[in-house]
Structure 1
Amino acid sequence: MLAEHFDEVVVLERDELPPDAEHRRGVPQSKHPHFLLNSGRRAIGEIFPGFEEALIADGGMHLMPSMDAAYCENDGWAPRKSGSMTMVYSSRVLIERVLRDKVRELPAIEIREGVTVTGLRSTGGGTTNGRVEGVEYRTADGDEGYLAADLVVDALGRGSSVIDWLGAAGWSVPPEKTLDAKVTYVSRWYDLPPAGRRPESWWWKHLVITPTQDTGDHPEEHEFLSNFFPIEGDRAIVCMGSWGIQMPRKTDAFEAALTRVRATAFGEAARACTPTSEVHLTRSTGNKWRRFDLVDVPPTGLVCVGDSICAFNPFYAQGMSSAARSALILGEMLRGRDAVDPAFFREFLDRQKKSLDVPWMLAMARDQAYDFATGSEVAAPWRRRLAARFSWPIFNAINATSREDAYVEETFAQVFNLDKSLKEMLTDPRFWFGLARYKVRQLTGRTVVPGGFDARHDPPGTDFTGYRGPGRASSSGARRGDDRVGA
C-alpha cells in the first residue's frame, strides 16, 4: 500500500528470507494452523490482486467448511450441509511465500535482509511538533546504520520495543489493555496417506473437535480444542490446545493424548498419517492492545500494525486479517494527500481503533469467562459467571439454529469473519427471533435437520443440504448416512 504513495519503501527484515515456503526464526507460530478469515482474504486480495489465485495454484485449497469439514460439537458430530462461508486452507509459510513473491514484483520496494532495528530517532518527543524521523539498525555483520524516513511502520510483532524507544524519547507510553486466558497449544505436522489408501470414511478434509461441556469426570483431553488441519502437499497439521491446561510437549505424550480426544476419529486419523516433525508448543497467546489512540500527543511519523499494536489469542485466527485491514486503512488515507501531518496520524489511529474493536470484542467475549485469566481486562466475578454460564449454550444454539435458518448462519459467519461486530449481532432482533423460533421447534419436536451424531463413530457424510425430513428430501437428494452412526 505504501509503494503506491512513496518513491521508496525499505523493508528491514531481521531474518534471511527463504526462497520457498519454509519456516524461519522470526515467525515461530508458522508451525501451527493459520486461518485467513474472509475479511482478511478480501483485504489481501485488494492489496495484491491475484493473491488467492496464486495461493491455490501453489497448493492452497478453496473449501466450504460446512461441507468439507467435520465438526464435533457439544452433543456430537454436526450435520454436513452447504453454508455461506468458504475458506482457503494452506500453511502460514505458503501464505508468506506467495506474499513475498507479490511484494518483489513492486519496483518501489527494497527488502534488506538480516537487519535488526535497534531504535528510533526523533525530535520533540511528546510535544505537538514531535516527530519520528527514522530508525537505527544493525546488519548481520554487526555494522550500525541509520535510515531516515518520512513514515516509519512498526511491524515488529508482540515483542516490539517501539513503546520503550518512544518513552525514552519523551513520548507518553500508551496504556495497554491485556487479557491472558492461559491458552497453550501444541502442533505436529503429518503426511496424509496416498489418496488411494485413505479410509472410505474420509469424506472430510478438516476435523474440528470442540471442548466438552460435560462437568463430570472425564479425561483432560476432552477439554481440548483440536484441529486436524489440511494444508498443501497432501499434509495436515494436527493441533490440540486448551485454556489453562498443561499440554503434552514430548512426542510420546502427544501421540497418547490424540487417542483420548473425545472424538475417536481424531486419533484414528492422526495414526493413519506419517509424522514429519517434532511437537511444537506455543504459550505466547495473551491478548494485548497498545492504545496509541488514547495518547494525548501521538507520535507523528509512526504507524503500528499487526501484533505490534494489537495481538490476539491465536485461537481466534484474527491476526493476519486485522493486520491486512490496517494496511487498507492506511492506503485509503494516503490517497489524495500530499503530506502526513499530525492530523493524519490522529485520524489513522481513530479509524484503526474502530477496526480493531471488532476482533477485540470477540476475543474478550470468550477469554473473560475464565477465573484464572489475568490482565487489565479481567471481568468482575459476576460477569465471569455469566460468560461461563451462557457463552457455550448460546454458541450451541447458534450452531443448531444455523442448520435451518440461513439468516442466523450468515450473520454468525459474518461475525466470525470480522465482517460484522459481535455487538451488531447481539442487537439484531431478527437474529434473536431466529434463535427463539428454532428453540420452540426443538421443544415441540418440529426441527428437521438432525444433529448430535455419536462422537464415538466416524462423522457421517450425509449431505443434508435441502433436507426436509425423513421421506421428504428435496431435489438436491439428501443421502442416508452410515448406519453405524446414530443421532
Structure 2
Amino acid sequence: MSESKGNAVVLGAGIAGLLAARVLADFYGDVTVVERDSLPNGPRNRRGVPQGGLPHIPTARATQSMEKLFPGFLADLVAGGARVWDDGDLSRLCMNFGGHQLLRSGNIPDPGSIVVHYAHRPFLEWRLRRRVLDIPNVTFAEAHDAVRLTSNGQLGRVTGVVLARRDSGAQRTLLADLVVDATGRGSRTPVLLEQLGYPRPPESELKVHVTYSGLPVYVAPGGLRENITLTAAEPKRPLAFAMFAGENDNYMLAVQTLAGRPAPTDRASLFDCLTDVAPPHVLAAARSAEPLADLMQYKFRANRWRHYDRLTHRPDGLIVMGDAMCTFNPLYGQGMTIAAVEALILRDCLRHGDEDLPRRFFRRAAKEAGVAWRMAVSSDLALPQIAGKRTASVRIRNAVVDRMVTAAETDPLVVQRFLHLMNMVGRRGPLTTASTLLRTVFR
C-alpha cells in the first residue's frame, strides 16, 4: 500500500462510488463520498438507483472483483441469504435466446470456472456500503448536490468541488487532490468541464428506448427450482422477460419492451403479456408469489459512451467511472461489472503514482468498456426495431452468437462458454476461439 496523502472526493454512493472509495482509502488521507440521496439503513431501494427494484444480479466477474477489494465479502453475502450457483447444475438455469432454449439437464464441464452469487442490487449495495462505512478515513456527505468543480486555472488541475445541501441550498467547498465522478448516467461532468474551459468528451450512442416493468416477489422455498429465468427479445417478438432469484427467496421479475413500445402498468397486464413468453411453470410461480412492492417502471433511452480517453485537453485531478462514463442496456448486466473492473484499474494506476493519472486510467478503462460496448450494441442491433448501422463486425458477431446458442441447446461445453461470455470471465474473445467455432459453426 502506498503512503496516504491528501484528500479525495467521490461523487455518488452507488456501486461504482463505493468501490472507488475503497480504493482511494488506501492512497489518500481522507476520502469523502458525496451522495444526493439520504441513504437507507438497510437493503432498500432509493431514488438515485431507479433500476434497483428490477432483476439486477452481478456477474461472476463483478463479484470476483468485489472480493479482491473486500476480502470475505462473498461469504458475507451468503451469510446474509444470497444464493450461490457453483455446481454447474443446468436445471437451475432457464435461458432462451433467439428462440433457442439452452440445455437444461446435466452440468457444465468445469463448474469452478463460473460461480454466480444471486443478490439483488439493494442488498448488494447495502452490504458494500457497510464495508465502506467501516473504513476509518472514509466519511459520507449525504443529501448534497455537486454544484461545480474548482480548479487552479492555468495549472490545469481540478482542486475540489462545491457542494450544496439539498434541504437549504447552503454551499461549501471540499478541497481535493482527486475528484472521482461516479454519479451514473446523469453525470454532469461534461457540463462542468465546459464551465472550466475544457471540451466535452466525444460520445457514441445507440438509442434503444426500452422500458422495464417489474416488481419483487417472495417465492416460498421449493416453489421454483430455477435461480434465473431469462427469455430474450426476438425480431418477431420485441419483448424480454427475466425473473432472478436473490437473497432469502426473494425474486425480482420484469418485462422489457423496446423501441418505445408501451409496457405493462399493473400486475394483471404484466402477467397477461407473459402468457406466451415465460415458461408456464415459472409464470405460475410468479402469479402465486407474494408481491413485496408495487409494480415499478424504469425507462432507459440509449447506450452511451463518453470517450474521456479521446480528450486531448483535460484537467488533472478528475476521474470519471462507471455509468458516468459508459452506460449499457441494463438487460446485459454489464454496468456493475465494468464499475468493479474500473475500480481495480484505478487501484493499479495509483500504485504507480498520481502523475498523469487521468490519461492512464481512461486509456485502460476504455479497453474494458469497449469489450462490453461491442457486446451490448451488437446484441441490440440483432433486433430490427433498433435503428443503427449494422457493420460487418456486428453482423459476424451476431451470426456466431446465433450459432453458439443453437449449439448450446445440446452441448454443455458451449453452454459453459456462453455463460463465460455473459459473465465476462474466462478467455477474452471466446466467440472466436478455434474450438468454439468448430463446435458451433460446423455442427
| TM-score bucket of the superposed structures, by smaller chain | 0.7 to 0.9
How many angstroms apart in 2 are the aligned matches of 1:80 and 1:380?
35
Correspondence list, 1:235-384, <5 A: 235-244=250-259, 245-261=261-277, 263-337=279-353, 340-341=354-355, 343-374=356-387, 378-380=388-390
Q: Which moved more, 1:40-49 or 1:69-78?
A: 69-78
Deviation per residue, 1:417-463 (Å, 9 max, x gap): 223577x23432222122245x1xxxxxxxxxxxxxxxxxxxxxxxx
> 2:133 aligned with 1:133, yes or no?
no
2:436 is aligned to 431
2:241 is aligned to 226
Task: Check whether the contact 2:102–2:408 (CA below 8 A) recurs between aligned residues.
Answer: no
Deviation per residue, 1:284-321 (Å, 9 max, x gap): 25211100111112221100011000111100000111
How many angstroms apart in 2 are the aligned matches of 1:75 and 1:177?
31
Task: Check whether the contact 1:206–1:229 (CA below 8 A) recurs between aligned residues.
Answer: yes
Counterpart pick for 2:55 among 9, 33, 45: 33
Task: Report the count of equivalent residues.
Answer: 412
Deviation per residue, 1:122-173 (Å, 9 max, x gap): 233xx7x411111011113321111110000001111111110101211011
Q: 1:262 to 1:115 in 2, by over 3 A?
A: closer
Task: Check whether the contact 1:369–1:387 (CA below 8 A) recurs between aligned residues.
Answer: no
Q: Secondary structure at the match of 2:46?
A: coil
Q: Secondary structure at the match of 1:400?
A: coil
How many angstroms apart in 1 are the aligned matches of 2:368 and 2:400?
24
Q: 1:400 to 1:151 in 2, by over 3 A?
A: same
How many angstroms apart in 1 are the aligned matches of 2:70 and 2:63?
10
2:16 is aligned to none
Larger Rg, first or second structure (1 or 2):
1
1:471 is aligned to none
Q: 1:285 to 1:402 in 2, by over 3 A?
A: farther
Q: Secondary structure at the match of 1:18?
A: coil
How many angstroms apart in 2 are the aligned matches of 1:99 and 1:246?
35
How many angstroms apart in 2 are the aligned matches of 1:236 and 1:118?
38
Q: Percent of pairs identical after alignment?
A: 27
Q: 1:32 to 1:434 in 2, by over 3 A?
A: same
Task: Check whether the contact 2:219–2:249 (CA below 8 A) recurs between aligned residues.
Answer: yes
Superposed CA RMSD:
2.4
Q: TM-score, normalised by structure 2?
A: 0.86
Deviation per residue, 1:79-99 (Å, 9 max, x gap): 222223321111111101100
Amino acid at match of 1:345: P
Q: 1:370 to 1:382 in 2, by over 3 A?
A: farther
Deviation per residue, 1:340-378 (Å, 9 max, x gap): 23x22211111111121121111121112344435xxx2
Amino acid at match of 1:394: R
Q: 1:226 to 1:395 in 2, by over 3 A?
A: farther
> 2:425 aligned with 1:416, yes or no?
no
Counterpart pick for 1:71 among 95, 104, 108: 95
> 2:186 aligned with 1:166, yes or no?
no
Consecutive unaligned residues of structure 2, counting only runs of 5 or more, are: 1-22
> 2:140 aligned with 1:111, yes or no?
yes
2:119 is aligned to 90
1:390 is aligned to 399
Q: Secondary structure at the match of 1:254?
A: helix
